Amino acid sequence: MKSLTKLYCLSLLLILSFLNSLAQHTFTLSGIISDKQKKEGVSFAHVYLNGTSFGTQADDKGNFMLKNVPSGNYQFLISMVGYQPLSVPISIQQDVKNLHFEMLENITDLVEIKVQGQRDRVWERQIRQFENEFLGRAIDRDLVKILNREAIDFEYDPSTKTLKASAKEPLLIENKELGYLYHGFLVGFEKAPKQLNFKSSGYFEALNPISNKEKTQWEKNRKYAFQGSIRHFLLALIHQSLANEGFYVTYYKENRMSNPPPFKMEEVLFTTNKPEIYAIDLKGIINVEFDSPRQFSKLKPMAKTILLESNGTLVDPYSIEVYGKMSESRMGNELPLDYVYELKK
- How many Cβ atoms are within 10 Å of 41's Cβ, its own excluded? 18
List, for residues 111-125, the tens digit of each pLDDT value.
Answer: 554 545 567 899 999
Instruction: Give 56 or 261, the one with higher predicted confidence.
Output: 56
Q: How many distinct helices (H) and strands (E) make up the chain?
A: 5, 20
Confidence of residue 73 (pLDDT cuts 50, 70, 90): confident
Compute the C-alpha angle 110/113/117, nearest 5°.
130
State the Cα–Cα distance between residues 147 and 184, nearest whole angstrom. Answer: 12
State the Cα–Cα distance between residues 327 and 197, nearest whole angstrom. Answer: 12
Give the mean pLDDT of 84-93: 92
Beta bridge partners of 99: 31
Secondary structure element (H or E) that encloses residue 171, with its range: strand 171-175
Give the mean pLDDT of 28-39: 95
Confidence of residue 72 (pLDDT cuts 50, 70, 90): confident
In this prediction, residue 2 carries a pLDDT of 44
In this prediction, residue 325 carries a pLDDT of 94
Compute the C-alpha angle 219/223/228, nearest 5°.
170
How many residues belong to the chain?
Answer: 345
In this prediction, residue 81 carries a pLDDT of 86
Q: What is the mean pLDDT of the chain?
A: 89
State the Cα–Cα distance between residues 128 and 116, nearest whole angstrom. Answer: 18
State the Cα–Cα distance between residues 226 and 215, nearest whole angstrom. Answer: 17
Do β-strands 195-206 and 180-192 pair in parallel, antiparallel, or remain unpaired? Answer: antiparallel
Sheet holding 26-35, edge to edge: 63-70, 26-35, 96-103
Confidence of residue 108 (pLDDT cuts 50, 70, 90): low
Give the mean pLDDT of 231-259: 90
Give the mean pLDDT of 225-249: 96
List, for residues 290-341, the tens digit of each pLDDT value.
Answer: 998 899 999 999 999 999 999 899 989 889 999 999 999 999 999 999 999 9
In this prediction, residue 254 carries a pLDDT of 79
Here the contacts of 153-157 (C-beta below 8 Å, separation 24 or greater) are 153/114, 153/116, 153/117, 154/117, 154/123, 154/126, 154/127, 154/130, 156/126
- Is residue 47 pLDDT above 60, yes or no? yes
In this prediction, residue 317 carries a pLDDT of 87
In this prediction, residue 274 carries a pLDDT of 87
- Is residue 8 pLDDT above 70, yes or no? no
List, for residues 174-204, the tens digit of each pLDDT value.
Answer: 999 999 999 999 999 999 998 888 999 999 9
State the Cα–Cα distance between residues 11 and 9, nearest whole angstrom. Answer: 5
Here the contacts of 256-261 (C-beta below 8 Å, separation 24 or greater) are 260/284
State the Cα–Cα distance between residues 100 and 76, nearest whole angstrom. Answer: 13
| 165 in Cβ contact with 171 (< 8 Å) | no
List, for residues 282-301, the tens digit of each pLDDT value.
Answer: 999 999 999 988 999 999 99
- Is residue 17 pLDDT above 50, yes or no? no
- How many Cβ atoms are within 10 Å of 77's Cβ, its own excluded? 20
State the Cα–Cα distance between residues 315 and 278, nearest whole angstrom. Answer: 10
Instruction: Give 118 or 216, the one with higher predicted confidence.
Output: 216
* CA dihedral over 236, 238, 239, 243, signed as positive or negative: positive
